Amino acid sequence: MNPATYGTYLVTQASVSAGRETTEIVEAAIDGGIDVVQLREKKTTAQRRYELGLEVREITAGADVDLIVNDRVDIAQAIDADGVHLGQSDLPVAVARELLGPEAVIGCSASTVDEARQAEADGADYLGVGTVYGTTSKAVDAYKDGVGPERIAEITDAVSIPVVGIGGITAANAGSVVDAGAVGVAVISEITAAEDPCAATESLAMAVETAKAVGDTPPHDG
């Protein structure tokens, strides 16, 4: 469980999965090389999220892929997930740490440098920063316009914990997010809505790895 390795990060959402089951999407993403899965599933009951979480936990555990639960610390505990991802209006990071213990992975959403610094100070293990390019996954005006890779760069310069970019990210623009300092990218529809989620995951992973390889290449001095 090392968030620094979260190059490709799937956030599940059945409502944008083209009628397919979340478990099917997760299995395909794992086949495509996904690094971590977050169980999101907004607008479902706690019972349904718990039941689905047990199924997804079995799949991810068998593949040695981390499973993070969005928002719900109680469900993360109940399904023995690897951790939880919290928003700015969710349970405080410090409280989640007390409940889940030192080994759990705790992520926190941040869109400003101040939020990022506070999350790190409170004990977050990684940050989900966005919305990078804008998204329709959240029905809130503030998320319709992205903060851009520039905000990724500002935040990665301000904190020492890993940053994952999220929001409107595709295989075509993921490289710019990594170039700005993110360890990886989190997506919903890029994988869940794809005709071939496995191939979509492979393409995303290739874009991330290519950007990292370019960034690690020493300058040529002629």
Phi, psi of 108 (to 5 degrees): -140, 135
Catalytic residue among 40, 49, 97, 151: 40
Residues near 146 by beta carbon (within 8 Å), at least 6 away in sequence: 130, 131, 132, 133, 134, 135, 167, 168
| E strand map for the chain | 8-11, 36-39, 66-70, 83-86, 105-110, 126-129, 163-166, 184-187
Q: Which two tokens stand for residue 162?
A: 């890993």
The span from the CA of 187 to the CA of 174, in Å, is: 10
**How far is the C-alpha of 152 from the C-alpha of 185, rounded, in Å?**
11
Is 109 one of the catalytic residues?
Answer: yes
Pairing of strands 163-166, 66-70: unpaired
- Which of 49, 72, 109, 203 is catalytic? The answer is 109
Q: Looking at 5-157, which runs of residues are DSSP E strands?
A: 8-11, 36-39, 66-70, 83-86, 105-110, 126-129
Output DSSP code: residue 36: E
| 212 among known catalytic residues | no
Q: Counting Cβ atoms within 10 Å, is residue 209 exposed (0-12), middle (13-18) or buried (19+)?
A: middle
Instruction: Catalogue the active-site residues.
Output: 40, 109, 138
